[in-house]
Amino acid sequence: MIYVLNGPNLNRLGTREPEIYGKTTYQDLVDMCESVAEDLGVTVEIRQTNAEHEMIEWLHRAADEGADVVLNAGAWTHYSFAIRDACAMLRGTLIEVHISNVHQREEFRHHSVITGVATGVIAGLGIDGYRLALEHICR
């Protein structure tokens, strides 16, 4: 099982700042991840929440299961030590994914509190970053 976890505002893909995030919808992202997982022969559980406590519970579950995680924590990436601490409990691979290149954006987006506990980071490749993360985990 690989968890693909998405944080705040990712449910607004396709309508939220399409000049930054593209016109791909959240459902398109889900469909792509499911298709990639099928091709790789793995099971994925794809979730999105705007509630920080819910994300923490999902990360705890993944930690308890020893599962791998692809995480786009959205804005929580830059300030949520609670999400970072939950990520630090993971025993499987953690790939931090960002659709946009956060380093080309506002200064506050340049720092991630999660990167220090992540196996790797993929940023700026659109939703293709999710495919790359899933492929890396399956190698």
> What residues act catalytically?
21, 98
35 marked ligand binding residue: no
The verdict on whether residue 72 carries a ligand-binding annotation is yes
Lookup result for tokens 């994914």 = 97
Half-sphere exposure of 124 (CA within 13 A, CB side): 7
Does residue 78 have a known ligand-binding role? yes
Does the annotation flag 112 for ligand binding? Answer: no
Token couple for 115: 């990167």
C-beta of residue 47 within 8 angstroms of C-beta of residue 1: no
Whether residue 139 is annotated as binding a ligand: the answer is no
99 annotated to a ligand binding site: yes
d(CA 108, CA 9): 17
Known binding positions for substrate: 72, 78, 85, 99-100, 109
